[in-house]
Amino acid sequence: MSKIKIIIADDHQLFRNGLRILLEAFDDFEICGEAVNGTEVIKILENTDCDLVLMDIDMPVMDGIDATRESLTINPGVKIIALSMYGEEEYYHRMVEAGAKGFLLKDSDINEVKEAIVNVHNGGNYFSQELLQHVIQKIRSRETETKHANLSNREKEILYNICEGLSNQEIAERLFISKRTVDKHRANLLSKTNSKNTASLILYAIKNKIIEI
């Protein structure tokens, strides 16, 4: 099986070096480039075949949000996982809208990093559980009241299963309905919540307290 080719994008050399060493210990991964800002990520993608970018959000010259958007323009198939620190919650929705498929805290255990990379590379989404808990606490501490879309009970049920990481086929089998029906409900959910992708749906569900982690 071919290795997953990864770009590490972060403006701190010590962090990049440490992450590279840890990732290269796994036979499944190959580091195909390192970048200190978004502009360098773009240059690497223009000249190198890469599968996934571990993207710092706060970088000089071009930040992770713009770099994510530009990266997907150059290579629509590349997967983006945001590298986050506490206090950057305001950027999460913007990263999701730009196309990020997952979020990891910078102090995550390397095994969690591996799990995130594999899940996202295989077409899934990944959100650090510790990070999600922190986001939820921030929302609750502000006592935010949000109006969410008028979702039917079935749509909420579908959304809950999406947040569990199930595919449309798996949801169909669990709920004893056709995959075509699930496809339609997912499309309705994206439209009603003004979400662009599954990651955005998950954040929407958390923010509006439709699910709790």
Q: What is the pLDDT of residues 145-167, one digit of tens each?
A: 445 568 888 888 898 888 877 88
In 28-125, DSSP assigns E strands to: 29-35, 52-56, 79-84, 102-105
Cβ neighbors of 32 (< 8 A, separation 6 or more) are 5, 6, 7, 44, 48, 49, 50
Assigned token pair, 176:
């004893």
Residue-level pLDDT at 34: 97
pLDDT of residue 209: 67
Instruction: Write phi, then psi, for 80 (nearest 5 degrees).
Output: -120, 130
What local confidence, expressed as pLDDT, does residue 146 receive? 45
Q: Name residue 43's amino acid.
A: K
Mean pLDDT of 62-72: 96
The per-residue pLDDT for 89 is 63
Looking at residue 196, its pLDDT comes to 78
CATH number of the domain located at residue range(s) 153-207 in this protein: 1.10.10.10
pLDDT for 74-83, tens place per residue? 999 999 999 9
Nearest Cα residue to 31 out of 124, 126, 117, 101: 117
Name the band, by pLDDT with cuts 50, 70 and 90, for residue 6: very high
pLDDT value, residue 163: 80
pLDDT of residue 213: 46
Tokens standing for residue 1: 């099986």
Q: Tell me which CATH homologous superfamily contains domain 4-127.
A: Response regulator (3.40.50.2300)
| pLDDT tens per residue, range 86-141 | 556 667 778 888 899 988 988 889 999 999 999 999 988 888 777 666 655 555 45
Whole-number pLDDT of residue 117: 96
pLDDT > 60? residue 206: yes
pLDDT of residue 170: 92
Is 139 within 8 Å of 207 (Cβ atoms)?
yes
pTM reported for the whole predicted model: 0.69
What is the domain partition of the chain in residue ranges?
A: 4-127, 153-207
Q: What is the mean pLDDT of residues 8-17?
A: 95
